[in-house]
């Protein structure tokens, strides 16, 4: 292996992001702006400013932190009420994409978290869609939407969400599954996944890292609800047969080597390397950059490359894997991968002179 990839190399790489919660990009500034506009009072708790206690890596403590994060995430998203809010939220993310040279993004959102508060499904889609249009036309960024079932809600609520999405079928590429995993296995939503598949949605689901019953949840994702991708899914490493099944079905894993304030370094890098070493398809994603200390893509990638002592070719490999896992046709995929290859070749030439 050569030198650790430089910030300049990472900045210039054309990238894809496949695992990003738009509600997780809410900054303190935007939260205030939306709250003022919508005449809401604000709680002052902010996960970004919370320091994780020492002992990170302890399963119970990490799950407690994860639940605390999700509680704050759901508290924060209450300031989003109108299509204008969703438009501004998404546009700011797409500006970050531009800054980070993300040329293709699949953006997750949580419909139930909004419709349950009385925000119309259509307002969310209108706002996000208007930002996608600007991203495409003015920023040169292609994007698609993934609607996520909040797994801690009822099956009936998820069924209603799929039905509410019907008028917007052509605006939503995929179905995901997120929020608190404890006690809410993927196969709770088997029927919704089957119906969504019939309607032509692409399928993914979160299997968060080191959760209770992590292996069983991954097994259900692969064998029962039959997803194409798993968000996180790092505990696949805990079971040979799951690695085999994921490989056979070419399941892509959207890993997130994020860190929280107080974490000494990016989390999960060694396990991501092991997954890749076993031949699994893995991408690197920022998840909730408004809340985690890892922030947006380039900041995260620089720290991950330093932690893993990854050279340019290793970083480029993960970026190509993101395009490999993207829900796009093979022609466009080839164009993106060619762009990465050309960029790497041009960087190599520069080094040689
Ligand atoms: N919703 C937003 N971020 C999430 C995460 N990291 N895990 C589960 N649900 C989420
Ligand atoms: Zn996530």
For residues 321-341, give the mean pLDDT.
98
Confidence class for position 57, pLDDT limits 50, 70, 90: confident
Q: Which long-range contacts (CB under 8 A, 24 or more apart) does 161-168 make?
A: 161/111, 161/112, 161/115, 162/192, 162/195, 162/196, 162/199, 164/111, 164/115, 164/121, 165/111, 165/121, 167/122, 168/121, 168/122, 168/125
Report the nearest-CA residue for atom 4 of ligand 1: 179
Both tokens assigned to 291: 């809340």
189 vs 46, more confident: 189
Q: Round the CA-based radius of gyration of the chain to a whole number and report it.
A: 19
What pLDDT digit, counting tens, does each position of 238-272 carry?
A: 999 999 999 999 999 999 999 998 899 999 999 99
Residue of 55 and 264 predicted with greater confidence = 264
Q: Whose CA is nearest to atom 1 of ligand 1?
A: 179
| Mean pLDDT, the chain, whole residue set | 95
Find the 268 Cα to ligand 2 centroid distance in Å: 14
Q: What is the arithmetic mean of pLDDT over 284-298?
A: 97
Q: What letter would DSSP give residue 20?
A: B
- The domain at 7-352 falls in which architecture? Alpha-Beta Barrel (3.20)
What's the gap in Å between 177 CA and the centre of ligand 1? 9
Q: Say what percent of the chain tops pLDDT 70.
A: 96
Confidence of residue 2 (pLDDT cuts 50, 70, 90): confident
The number of the ligand nearest the C-alpha atom of 18 reads 2
Neighbours of ion ligand 2 (CB under 5 A): 287
Cβ pair 124, 166 in contact under 8 A: no
User: Which of 58 and 30 is assigned the larger pLDDT?
Assistant: 30
Query: Given a cut of 60, is residue 10 above it in pLDDT?
Result: yes
Model pLDDT, residue 46: 58
- Give the other-Cβ count within 10 Å of 163's Cβ: 11
- Ligand 1 atom nearest to CA at 178: 9
Q: Where are the domains of the chain?
A: 7-352
The predicted model gives 318-325 an average pLDDT of: 98
Q: What is the whole-number distance in angstroms between the Cα of residue 210 and the centre of ligand 1?
A: 14
Q: What is the pLDDT of residue 83?
A: 98
From the CA of 23, the nearest ligand is 1
Q: Is the pLDDT of residue 1 over 60?
A: no
Instruction: Give residue ranges with CB within 6 A of ligand 1.
Output: 21, 24, 70, 73, 178-179, 206, 208, 287-288
Mean pLDDT (whole number) for 13-21? 99
Average pLDDT over residues 290-302: 97
pLDDT band at 53 (very low <50, low <70, confident <90, very high): confident
Q: Whose CA is nearest to atom 8 of ligand 1?
A: 179
Quote the pLDDT of residue 42.
75
Which residues lie across from 176 on neighbouring strands? 148
Give the pLDDT mean for 277-289: 98
User: Looking at residue 119, what is its pLDDT?
Assistant: 98
Mutation to probe ligand 1, out of 112, 151, 206, 231 (largest number of atoms < 8 A from CB): 206
Indicate which residue's Cα is closest to atom 9 of ligand 1: 179
Q: Is the pLDDT of residue 36 over 80?
A: yes
What atom in ligand 1 is closest to the CA of residue 23? Answer: 2
Q: CA–CA separation, 228 vs 242, rounded Å? A: 14
| Residue scoring higher pLDDT (239 or 2) | 239
Among 258-262, 302-306, 340-344, the least confident range? 258-262
∠ CA 125-131-135, nearest 5°, is 135
| Per-residue pLDDT tens over the stretch 198-236 | 999 999 999 999 999 999 999 999 999 999 999 999 999
What is the distance between the alpha carbons of residues 335 and 118, in angstroms, rounded to a whole number? 42
pLDDT at 44: 57
* Predicted confidence (pLDDT) per residue in 116-164, tens digit: 999 999 999 999 999 999 999 999 999 999 999 999 999 999 999 999 9
User: How many angstroms separate the alpha carbon of residue 319 from the centre of ligand 2?
Assistant: 18
CA of 286 to the centre of ligand 2 (A): 9
pLDDT band of residue 348 (cuts 50, 70, 90) is confident
Q: Which residue's CA is the nearest one to ligand 1's atom 6?
A: 287
- Specify the ligand 1 atom closest to the Cα of 208: 7
Q: How far away, in angstroms, is 1 Cα from ligand 2 center?
A: 31
> Ligand 1 atom 10: the closest Cα is on which residue?
179
The residue with tokens 């419909």 is 111
């Amino acid at each position: 292996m050569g030198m650790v990839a430089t910030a300049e190399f990472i900045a210039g790489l054309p990238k894809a992001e496949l695992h990003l919660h738009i509600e997780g990009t809410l900054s303190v500034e935007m939260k205030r702006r939306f709250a003022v506009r919508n005449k809401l009072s604000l709680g002052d708790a902010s996960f970004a400013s919370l320091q994780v206690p020492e002992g990170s890596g302890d399963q119970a403590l990490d799950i407690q932190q994860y639940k605390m994060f999700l509680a704050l995430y759901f508290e924060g998203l209450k300031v989003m009420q109108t299509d204008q809010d969703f438009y501004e939220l998404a546009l700011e993310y797409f500006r970050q994409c531009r800054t980070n040279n993300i040329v293709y993004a699949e953006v997750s959102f949580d419909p139930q978290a909004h419709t349950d508060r009385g925000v119309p499904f259509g307002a969310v889609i209108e706002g996000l869609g208007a930002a996608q249009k600007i991203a495409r036309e003015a920023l040169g960024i292609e994007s698609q939407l993934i609607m996520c079932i909040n797994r801690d809600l009822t099956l009936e609520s998820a069924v209603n969400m799929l039905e509410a999405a019907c008028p917007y079928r052509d605006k939503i590429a995929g179905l995901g599954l997120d929020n608190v995993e404890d006690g809410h296995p993927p196969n709770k939503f088997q029927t919704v996944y089957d119906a969504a598949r019939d309607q032509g949605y692409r399928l993914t689901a979160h299997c968060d890292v080191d959760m209770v019953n992590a292996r069983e949840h991954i097994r259900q994702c692969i064998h029962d609800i039959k997803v194409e991708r798993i968000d996180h899914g790092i505990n696949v490493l805990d079971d040979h047969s799951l690695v085999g099944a994921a490989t056979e079905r070419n399941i892509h894993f959207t890993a997130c080597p994020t860190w929280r304030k107080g974490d000494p370094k990016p989390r999960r890098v060694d396990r991501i390397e092991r997954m890749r070493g076993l031949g699994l398809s893995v991408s690197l994603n920022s998840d909730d950059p408004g809340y985690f200390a890892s922030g947006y893509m380039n900041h995260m990638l620089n720290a991950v490359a330093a932690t893993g002592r990854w050279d340019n070719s290793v970083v480029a490999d993960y970026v190509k894997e993101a395009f490999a896992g993207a829900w796009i046709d093979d022609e466009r995929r080839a164009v993106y991968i060619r762009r990465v290859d050309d960029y790497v070749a041009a960087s190599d030439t520069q080094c040689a002179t």
